[in-house]
């Protein structure tokens, strides 16, 4: 349950504003590579790899699109997501999946992506972890060459699996942590039954062995504000994925603002998974006014029907942020990124340039019918 007064206004996103939001340098901090598996690629990989999908899985692209528009909650989505990823077998499959995403992100004006993947979802099917990491890493590098974007990998632990399995996974990828191929650690999957305190050992192991690795965790999507506080206190994360329920605690909001702890929000995902019934119900205006840093992200765009620009447009039509407001949001996203200081400076300079170019744009309230 989110306590926030929904905005009752709506705004037009005219062509010029859409152009501005497309050109505004964007950073993606919350995207699951396996969640970019479009139904068309899913079925072509199933055919190529001779995978028979279970009979209860939607049997066609059209049936997937229909089913994906009706998820009851996070678990209902995850049940499809884990079946979907079962078609990924070879290094080339992982490479192709990530390259398709990076091409779409670049087209949307996303210049820096920090992307999640779920190694345990593949290893438990008999895929070697290096097959996954090498395919994704090659795509990060090729996308950098081809599109000029910077891209980092964040490995997530599945919270429905025991912490001992998480520790084993951490040990199995220590070479990728050491050489910087894996840049961060996250925690995803079913939130409420598996609170952050179960994973203290896993996070402590990464923090002590690989202090340069960034720490984040999904918290406060379906879990209440204590999931966010406990992730900060016990897992020592410096970023929170989703975090919408932080609005339930004023103390937590003040703490996030003071420590510049960024929430990686996913508006369209929150609607598709019934966290809210409309983007207007998200506490985005309160976060903005209370100076809680947040970024806007796409989560699992192949399942939720929108990539990063779609999420920006959805936020604009509900909250009507001005060019100056968007500039602040873009700056917070860059400062909350785990890229080099020199890359941050480049991105910040580009934000200045784009915001200057569009400084005369005004926000247009929609006329009620
Ligand atoms: O939105 C999400 N929440 C939790 N786990 C996930 N795994 C993929 N997407 C998600
Ligand atoms: Zn997520």
Q: Is residue 244 domain-resident?
A: yes
Residue 96 bears catalytic tag:
no
Ligand 1 centroid distance, CA of 103 (Å): 22
Q: Is residue 129 domain-resident?
A: yes
Q: Compute the average pLDDT of residues 96-107.
A: 98
Binding residues: 30, 32, 218, 299-300
Q: Are 25 and 109 in contact (CB under 8 A)?
A: yes
Q: Which of 124, 138, 217, 208 is closest to 174 using CA atoms?
A: 208
Task: For residue 368, name the pLDDT band (cuts at 50, 70, 90).
Answer: low
| DSSP reduced 3-state for 151 | strand
Identify the domain containing residue 172 by its residue range: 11-365
Q: Is residue 307 domain-resident?
A: yes
Give the number of domains in the chain.
1
CATH of residue 271: 3.20.20.140
Q: Is residue 77 domain-resident?
A: yes
Ligand 1 centroid distance, CA of 186 (Å): 11
pLDDT over 60 (residue 348): yes
Q: What average pLDDT does the chain have?
A: 96
Burial class (CB in 10 A: 0-12, 13-18, 19+), 75: middle
Ligand 2 centroid distance, CA of 369 (Å): 36
Binding residues for substrate: 300
Q: What is the pLDDT of residues 24-49, one digit of tens each?
A: 999 999 999 999 999 999 999 999 99
Q: Is residue 166 domain-resident?
A: yes
Q: Is residue 5 domain-resident?
A: no
Verify whether ligand 1 is closer than 6 Å to residue 34 (CB atom): no
In the prediction, which pLDDT does 13 show? 81
Q: Among residues 28, 34, 191, 221, which one is catalytic?
A: 221
In the prediction, which pLDDT does 363 show? 84
The residue written with tokens 């060019």 in the block is 323
Verify whether ligand 1 is closer than 6 Å to residue 35 (CB atom): yes
Q: Is residue 340 domain-resident?
A: yes
């Amino acid at each position: 349950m989110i306590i926030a007064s929904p905005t009752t206004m709506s705004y037009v996103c005219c062509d010029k504003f859409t152009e501005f939001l497309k050109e505004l340098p964007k950073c993606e901090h919350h995207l699951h590579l396996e969640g970019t598996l479009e139904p068309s690629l899913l079925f072509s990989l199933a055919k190529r790899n001779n995978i028979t999908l279970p009979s209860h899985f939607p049997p066609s692209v059209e049936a997937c699109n229909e089913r994906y528009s009706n998820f009851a909650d996070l678990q209902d989505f995850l049940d499809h997501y884990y079946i979907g990823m079962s078609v990924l077998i070879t290094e080339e499959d992982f490479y192709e999946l990530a390259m398709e995403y990076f091409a779409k992100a670049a087209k949307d004006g996303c210049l820096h992506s920090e992307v999640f993947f779920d190694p345990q979802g593949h290893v438990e099917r008999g895929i070697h972890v290096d097959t996954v990491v090498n395919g994704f890493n090659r795509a990060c590098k090729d996308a950098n060459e081809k599109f000029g974007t910077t891209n980092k990998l964040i490995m997530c632990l599945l919270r429905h699996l025991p912490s001992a399995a998480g520790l084993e996974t951490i040990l199995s990828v220590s070479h990728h942590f050491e050489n910087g191929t894996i840049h961060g650690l996250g925690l995803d999957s079913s939130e409420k039954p598996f609170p952050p305190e179960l994973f203290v050992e896993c996070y402590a192991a990464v923090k002590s062995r690989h202090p340069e690795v960034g720490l984040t965790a999904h918290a406060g999507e379906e879990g209440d504000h204590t999931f966010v506080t406990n992730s900060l206190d016990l897992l020592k994360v410096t970023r929170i994925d989703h975090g919408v329920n932080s609005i339930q605690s004023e103390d937590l909001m003040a703490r996030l603002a003071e420590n510049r702890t960024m929430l990686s929000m996913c508006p369209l995902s929150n609607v598709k998974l019934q966290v809210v019934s409309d983007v207007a119900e998200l506490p985005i205006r309160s976060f903005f006014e209370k100076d809680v840093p947040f970024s806007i992200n796409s989560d699992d765009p192949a399942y939720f029907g929108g990539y990063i620009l779609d999420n920006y447009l959805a936020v604009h039509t509900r909250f009507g942020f001005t060019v100056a407001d968007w500039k602040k949001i873009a700056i917070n996203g860059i400062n909350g990124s785990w890229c080099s200081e020199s890359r941050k400076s480049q991105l910040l300079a580009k934000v200045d340039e784009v915001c200057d170019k569009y400084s005369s744009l005004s926000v247009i309230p929609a006329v009620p019918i």
